Amino acid sequence: MVNNQLLLHIHAYLDSLKKSISDVSAQESLEVAVEALEDAFIASMTSDDRSKMIQGYTLDDIYNAGVSALPTAPKDTEASSTDKTEADRLKMLGNDSIRGGRLDEAIDFYSQAIKIDNTNAIYYCNRAAAYVQKRALAEAKADAERAVELDPRYSKGHSRLGAVAFELGNFETAVSAYGRALALEPENEAFKKNLDIAKVRLANKREQEARTAPPAEGLGGLGNLLNNPAIQGMMSNIMGGGQSAAASPAAAEDTTPSAPSEGAAAGSPNVDGVIDSLFEAFPAFRSLQDDPAFIRLRQSGKLNEIAQAVQEGGPMAALRFMSDPDVQPIISRVMGSLGGAGGLGGMLGGLFGGAGAPASSNNSTGYHI
């Protein structure tokens, strides 16, 4: 049912607003709105009807009166000592329930405690833990955020926020939250372990994104070449067919998140040997032997860093070094002598070593709330 009285007030408000602004475009838009209301509803009203319905009040008057009449939103209030005792009793019952796996019961007890005292960060944090176990992650996130809002120095609140972010696959937020928890409580081994796990998962996620990302603009199809199975096979052959530690059965069966760092050193590529092999296999490379820029790059250890990144993360991991000022001159020279991106792909394949599967591909996180 159309509320003619409200429409009249809206019409009057828009008409007055049109007269009070100087922007021509805005005036025209308001004029369209005013005319539309007139044509659709107001034209059929008599002048007497209009006068009776307006009653001397403006829309601003009605709005302000209505807002002041609304009930005040409940505010956080400090509970009495008696109430706090009862809320703590309910929290303890919730703790017993969550230990017994009775998650709905635990959530109910924590909710009762919060109803009595909604300023206690621990109650929200504990309820978040129950929600996480129940896989109600949206509710868990809201409670964890409320816990750290109430007490920014509550380390377990930040840790719980990290736990929720981890379960949601938001490893950047998880690392940040666990980092804050550890900064507040540096000796907490659980925080350290969970931060390390989140960092590994974040690194693995970024490596995966790098491998699956479209080729970077300006690389002349290099990204596609690095993903070419033939080039990857050539890379392994030049490395002697060796398998990196990350691809070994032992590493695949390892379910500890720290496995990547434990296995990497054993499979490190022999970069000097690879370079010597390239000079043998590709005559175009031999001009680099006496190139000052290449000599500096080789002596700096940057080639070892690139080779290790490629071995752990796959060929696409080399892309992040393409903008390095020490690497760019070498790429330009080799591209010129080998005929563009195709030759460059071969150069990178031989230079940077075999690509094993990422160490985390078969990892389970071992993560626990």
Predicted confidence (pLDDT) per residue in 80-114, tens digit: 889 999 999 999 999 999 999 999 999 999 999 99
Which one-letter DSSP state was computed for residue 315? G
One domain, residues 228 and 195: no
One domain, residues 188 and 235: no
One domain, residues 54 and 113: no
One domain, residues 322 and 346: yes
One domain, residues 178 and 135: yes
Domain that holds residue 35: 4-69
Cα(250)–Cα(255) distance, rounded to whole angstroms?
10
Among 144, 99, 138, CA closest to 123: 144
Contact 79, 86 (CB under 8 A): no
In total, how many domains does the chain have?
A: 3
* pLDDT score, position 243: 39
One domain, residues 235 and 178: no
Contact 320, 222 (CB under 8 A): no
* pLDDT score, position 282: 58
Q: Which of 180, 209, 238 is the last residue of a domain?
A: 209
Positions in the chain short of pLDDT 50: 73, 216-222, 225, 237-267, 338, 340-369
One domain, residues 241 and 281: yes
Q: Does residue 59 fall inside a structural domain?
A: yes
Contact 86, 115 (CB under 8 A): no
One domain, residues 195 and 91: yes
Q: Does residue 357 fall inside a structural domain?
A: no
Q: Does residue 338 fall inside a structural domain?
A: yes
Q: Which amino acid is at 120?
A: N
Q: Does residue 30 fall inside a structural domain?
A: yes
* pLDDT score, position 180: 96
* pLDDT score, position 15: 78
